[in-house]
Amino acid sequence: MTNLFRRYLLPGLIFQSVIIGGGYGTGREIVEFFMTHGPLGGLLGLGVTAFVWAVLLAIGFEFARIHQGYDYRAFFSALLGPFWRLFEILYLLIVLLVLSVLGSAASEMISQAFGVPGAVGAFILLGAVGVLAFYGGRVIERALAWWSVLLYAVYGVFLFWIASSQGGAILSALERGTVTGPWMLDGVRYAAYNLIAFAAVLFVLPYLRSRKEALASGALAGVIGIIPGVFVFLAMLAQYPEIQDETVPVLSLLQTINSAWFFVLFQVVLFGTFVETGIGIIHAVNERAASAITESGAAFPRWARFVLASFLLVVAVFLAQAVGIIDLIAKGYGVLSYGFIAIVIAPLLTIGVYKIITAQTVNIEGK
């Protein structure tokens, strides 16, 4: 990878990789946070999410660069001081929630597509995430970046294909111009809970060398992160409003495309997004554990990364089976989004900005 790619595009691609499975992969999340506000209201909400991400990631990337906060413990210790453990508690709760959604979606997708027990999908997800966790940062970095490039291509073809055959229905939905409910609030809430991905991006931020690179990379990450969501939203308008009742809306859309090879390709890429999100959020936990163990003078072996990843996934799969994907998304994401607003967004926009300005002043006076 070139330096320009690592500094300006890689953080955004990693961010998009981590949010995709829990944020866009099934289409269910798009329904809950955006489509319920109507076609135009949903697009406005997506715009709010992109703006919030761009601002917060730009500030967060610069804060991480200044304070060398390249794992979430170091970052939030610098931001929140002794209260950083509030973030860790919130993060672990949403890790289990997102992994539960991924396990449920993987099980249902594999079961519907190939007629096998849902446990097969969960087992494949567990194995793929565990292997990537075992090999660590560099392998994860490359896997997430290049799978994101493939995902952009496939999602683009997906939207083009749906629009080519059902473009009239999409335009008709947009022409109604419906805007209902608190679309701005849901745009902020969606941006908030998906900031779980911020912790997973920290490990690639050491590539940033200046304020310009940090701010530009963060702003680009907001744009890179939202584009797949816009693709999915527009495609889903082809079956609006009926598609809102589907458990996994993207599968309903795929069934309208009479192409066996693309159906299989999309399923593979979609399953890969579940792996991306799973390994991204688990790698952040592994990095946190590794830093703590290293401070004690011991080493964090590869097998421990695999074991920790497997443990989190197994617990999450049991949670998914007990609750169900629709209830997990509708209730769990909404509640925890307020936690992220209080513990991440508000401190970053106040304490974080203040410490960035203070650090700049100190550096100028020091010179």
Which structure tokens are listed for 223?
A: 């744009």
pLDDT for res 78: 93
Query: Contact, 126 vs 138, CB < 8 A?
Result: no
CA 285 – CA 289 distance, rounded (Å): 6
Query: Contact, 325 vs 122, CB < 8 A?
Result: no
CA 41 – CA 207 distance, rounded (Å): 38
pLDDT for res 226: 92
Query: Contact, 49 vs 191, CB < 8 A?
Result: yes
* One-character DSSP codes across 67-107: HT--SHHHHHHHHHGGGHHHHHHHHHHHHHHHHHHHHHHHH
Helix or strand run (H / E) with residue 244: none
Which structure tokens are listed for 12?
A: 């955004």
pLDDT for res 103: 74
What is the identity of the amino acid at 268? V
* Residue among 73, 64, 6 at smallest CA distance from 211: 64
The DSSP output letter for 256 is T
Query: Contact, 128 vs 277, CB < 8 A?
Result: no
Query: Contact, 204 vs 141, CB < 8 A?
Result: yes
Q: For residue 61, how far is the Cα from the chain centroid? A: 16
pLDDT for res 79: 93
Task: For tokens 């087992």, name the residue.
Answer: 123
Q: pLDDT tens across 283-324, in order? A: 888 888 887 787 777 777 888 888 888 888 777 767 666 655
CA 310 – CA 282 distance, rounded (Å): 10
pLDDT for res 366: 41
Cβ neighbours of 65 (radius 10 Å): 23
b/e per residue 34-52 (b: at least 16 CB within 10 A): bbbbbbbbbbbbbebbbbb
Which regions of the chain are under pLDDT 70? 1, 21-23, 25, 113, 118, 317, 319-334, 360-367
Domains and CATH numbers, the chain: 3-366 (1.20.1740.10)
Query: Contact, 222 vs 53, CB < 8 A?
Result: yes
Which structure tokens are listed for 68?
A: 């060398």
